[in-house]
Chain A
Amino acid sequence: MSRWARIGSTLFVLLLLLVALVPGWLAPGDPLAIDPAEAFQSPSPAHPMGTDESGRDVLTRVVHGARDSLVIGIAATALGMGVAIVLGTAAALSPRWLDAGILRLLEALYAIPSLLMALLIIAFTGPGVGPAIVAVGLSTAPGYARLVRSQIRTLRHSEMLQAATVLGRGTLLRVRNHLVPNALRPLLALITLGVGQAVIWASALSFLGLGTPPPAPEWGAMLAAGRTYLHLAWWMSLFPGLAIVVVAAGATMIGRALGGKVNAA
């Protein structure tokens, strides 16, 4: 990881956190305040990103939307990772038959494409943010779980672990002190990649009308609402779209810098 990439990605993460935690600091306005007389204003000094169909300031909404969008992305990834760590660790440390069973289970989860899985879950639960998070999380879990499993299997035979065994530590302790942290490092790269993808899938659900309900300033929902007015007010979809692209692309760059491969997300 080059020095500049490290500085750049650190700054990027800090800025995102800042925006998500104290949006009012950057955009003091109310993201829900309507003003029909100001609808569809193109970008200007007063509204640097223009206004939407209800005269709401797009910049304010993009900034305030960071929290909702990131929470969905992070929560989904965290859920997927949680499931993955349990299943992946269990598989790696289990006898052969159980390992094979868990692998089949993962394959079953993996066999259903992410968005189809999300729709399947929504078919049973109905739409909403919660189901969207669960859906995106579960659909990404098998990818993570496979990596966890292979990481742990590699480490299991590594010198460090053998050293630990020689020293007579208990199995649980071995798992906690060595296996999990060592498996986690490459996972960290994957997680950052995953957050970006989760934000994109969540936005697709919003587009299908199954994600965050209006008028919350979630990026996917804003992008979905703005696409109706694409030829009239391009700024309504461009800026939330850019926000998604920047986060997903930023996450990819950080993930790659951490040594991740693009393939497992």
Chain B
Amino acid sequence: MQRTIRTRRLVTGTVALPLAAALLAGCSASAPGEQAQDTAPVIGGTLVYASGDAEPTCLDPHVGGNYPQALVASQYLESLFTKDAAGQIVPWLAESTELSEDGLTRTITLRDGITFHDGSKLTSEAIKANIEHLQNPDTKSSTGYLAVGKVLQVEPVDELTAELQLSAPDNALLESLSMPWSAIQSPDALKRGQAVNCEAPVGTGPFKVESWQHQQAVNLVRYEDYVLPAQDAGRERDTAYLDGITWRFIPEAATRYAALQSGEVHVIDNAQPDTIASAEGAGLGHLDAPRPGASNRIELNSSKAPFDDAAVREAFIRSLDVNAGIDSLFFGTAPRSYSLLSSVEPLGIAQEQLFSPDAAKAAQLLDDAGWGERDAEGYRVKDGQRLSLDFPVSTNQSVPAEQSLFEQIQASAKEAGFEVRIQLLDLSSWYGALAEHKYNMVSAPYTKVGPSVLQVIFHSDSTTPAPSGYFANNAQVTDDELDDLLTRAGQTNDAAEREQLYAQAQRIVLEGHYVLPLYDQQNHFLYGKDVAGMGATTAVSSPIYYDVFLTN
């Protein structure tokens, strides 16, 4: 019942024929009824989607830029580029692109005949307006802002062609432009001001935002003038099969799953590990789409004691055995990672031996680092200071199983003499704790297409906050050699050199014990028996419901 996931389908193929061949490692969707896949698509019906994420405060993913925004925006906004089933970056709204000899001018030509939901035509002015929107500090973009950070200015050359002037060569630019956080919106709509645009962004996607009833649902309806940018001979019509999507927010995991079981909703995200196993037994579908970019990891803040000492960081990592916990808490749905990068990133390297538990070595390292004494409660002390670690955990970003894993880490670390102080925080307080550097360790997801995420999360420049206030280098790694490697890796035009430079950079971070990788960023969707055509996703693994239809 396993079938490969498709990212944007560019080659021909009917809905009935899942695209096989080139597969992204680890992505799989098990469809409940393969028969359903063989029936002709049914037109009509409204799909009810239940998200476990907090309701976004803005539906425009340029603003801030987190994954819940990407999940919903993938239905109504499209990007210039996307990732095909083989993992290659390919044009989407763009038709072609060229790079100048010096790597400083990127020319992008758009497809002709595409219109925004407001009726305006997609032209090169839109590229300019959107990149300027991302770079405007008032937009308070963090993800998209970083993605287009090297773009100095955009000059429309003709109606469909624009030239992007770069401050330095950027071999990740196309990857950056494939993400929903840098998706293209109608320039007219952007002019309406942020408050209005947040309520109903205007894009070119197969669905458009009809209304947003706060705290209830975002209502999406089919965009009747949709033009599929790529050719797809298998489709008789360009418009989506569904009449619309009701995008609801059901924060309680058990309620969300019960609603799927009893049929009030068709698709749920943030599926709990224990329900995934039982869902497959109950005939429900499962889409496993690990996010690209960084793996899910705990970052150790190297800018302050005690983790400013590499030996203490290694001792901490060596004192933990997280594998047993991951196995029992995630029911086999989350394979252990030993890499900084997601398993969908081909350039990631894994170094398992750096993370093998070794209590004796951990104790030796701590003794040598001056943490030899223990206090009455068994925690190590040095100069009267207890070996304490503040660990703010965002309840919005860590599912219960992950929170339990952190509790287990706390218990294991205690035996080695570390006092881990977990603070469960809402998102706002969690950002606040990070902004004020009130943490020694933190688990902060970061999704980006391609290995350039390494630059975002480990370059010393990322220790200074983006306009939104967020800084991505939570491990506070400041290493000149690493900066140099990352800069060169991001600029080279030679694929082999890029791979080799990124490998070197990863080794420095891994061997510096800045990070404890856990698993891929989990992205599990469950869907009902009457849902067919699931599988297509954007470059950031957010599903698209363009191909989806309801069988009854």
User: Would A and B touch once assembled, by the CB under 8 A criterion?
Assistant: yes
Residue in contact with B411 in the complex, picked from A34, A228, A229, A230, CB distance below 8 Å: A34
- Give A40 to B273 CA distance when docked, in angstroms: 13
* Residues A36 and B327 in contact in the complex (CB < 8 Å), given A126-B429, A228-B254: yes
* A53-B404 in contact (CB<8A): yes
- List B contacts of A156 (CB < 8 A): none
- Give A209 to B425 CA distance when docked, in angstroms: 8
- List B contacts of A36 (CB < 8 A): 324-325, 327-329, 408
- List B contacts of A231 (CB < 8 A): 254, 275, 278
CB distance from A209 to the nearest CB of B (A): 5
- List B contacts of A225 (CB < 8 A): 400, 404
* Residues A32 and B411 in contact in the complex (CB < 8 Å), given A37-B324, A53-B401: yes
- Give A214 to B405 CA distance when docked, in angstroms: 12
CB distance from B321 to the nearest CB of A (A): 9
Interface of A, secondary structure class, is: loop
- List A contacts of B328 (CB < 8 A): 36-37, 39-40, 53, 55
User: Which residue in chain A gives the minimum CB-CB distance to B325?
Assistant: A36
- List B contacts of A33 (CB < 8 A): 411
CB distance from A27 to the nearest CB of B (A): 17
- Give A39 to B411 CA distance when docked, in angstroms: 15
Interface check B272, CB cutoff 8 A: yes
Interface centre among A36, A126, A127, A231 (most CB of B within 10 A): A36
- Give A55 to B324 CA distance when docked, in angstroms: 11
- Give A230 to B272 CA distance when docked, in angstroms: 12
* Residues A215 and B272 in contact in the complex (CB < 8 Å), given A37-B328, A228-B254, A228-B400: no
1/0 contact string of B386-420 vs chain A (CB within 8 Å): 00000000010000110110011011101000000
Interface check B424, CB cutoff 8 A: yes
1/0 contact string of A213-233 vs chain B (CB within 8 Å): 111000000000101111110
* B404-A54 in contact (CB<8A): yes
Number of residues from A at the complex interface, CB < 8 A = 23
Interface check B367, CB cutoff 8 A: no
- Give A141 to B272 CA distance when docked, in angstroms: 40
* B424-A214 in contact (CB<8A): yes
Residue in contact with A34 in the complex, picked from B274, B412, B422, CB distance below 8 Å: B412
* B253-A228 in contact (CB<8A): yes
- Give A33 to B410 CA distance when docked, in angstroms: 11
- Give A215 to B274 CA distance when docked, in angstroms: 20
* A213-B424 in contact (CB<8A): yes
- Give A229 to B412 CA distance when docked, in angstroms: 23
- List A contacts of B275 (CB < 8 A): 231
* Residues A53 and B272 in contact in the complex (CB < 8 Å), given A34-B411, A225-B400: no
- List A contacts of B414 (CB < 8 A): 32
- Which residues in window 366-388 of B have CB below 8 A to A? none
Residue in contact with A214 in the complex, picked from B278, B407, B412, B426, CB distance below 8 Å: B407
Interface check B423, CB cutoff 8 A: yes
* Residues A215 and B327 in contact in the complex (CB < 8 Å), given A227-B254, A229-B274, A230-B254: no
User: Which residue in chain A gives the minimum CB-CB distance to B396?
Assistant: A209
- List B contacts of A54 (CB < 8 A): 325, 329, 404, 407-408, 411
- Give A209 to B410 CA distance when docked, in angstroms: 19
- Give A32 to B377 CA distance when docked, in angstroms: 14
* Residues A215 and B411 in contact in the complex (CB < 8 Å), given A37-B324, A230-B254, A232-B274: yes
- List A contacts of B411 (CB < 8 A): 32-34, 54, 215
- Give A209 to B327 CA distance when docked, in angstroms: 25
- List B contacts of A209 (CB < 8 A): 395, 424, 426
CB distance from A41 to the nearest CB of B (A): 11
Can you show 23 pairs from A to B with CB atoms below 8 A apart?
A34-B407, A34-B408, A34-B411, A34-B412, A36-B408, A37-B324, A53-B328, A54-B329, A54-B404, A54-B411, A126-B429, A213-B423, A214-B403, A214-B407, A214-B422, A215-B407, A215-B410, A228-B254, A228-B272, A228-B400, A229-B274, A231-B278, A232-B274
Residues of B within 8 A of A (CB): 253-254, 272, 274-275, 278, 324-325, 327-329, 395, 400-401, 403-404, 407-408, 410-412, 414, 422-424, 426, 429
Which 6 residue pairs spanning A and B have beta carbons closest together?
A36-B324, A39-B328, A34-B411, A36-B325, A215-B407, A36-B328
Residues of A within 8 A of B (CB): 32-34, 36-37, 39-40, 53-55, 126-127, 209, 213-215, 225, 227-232
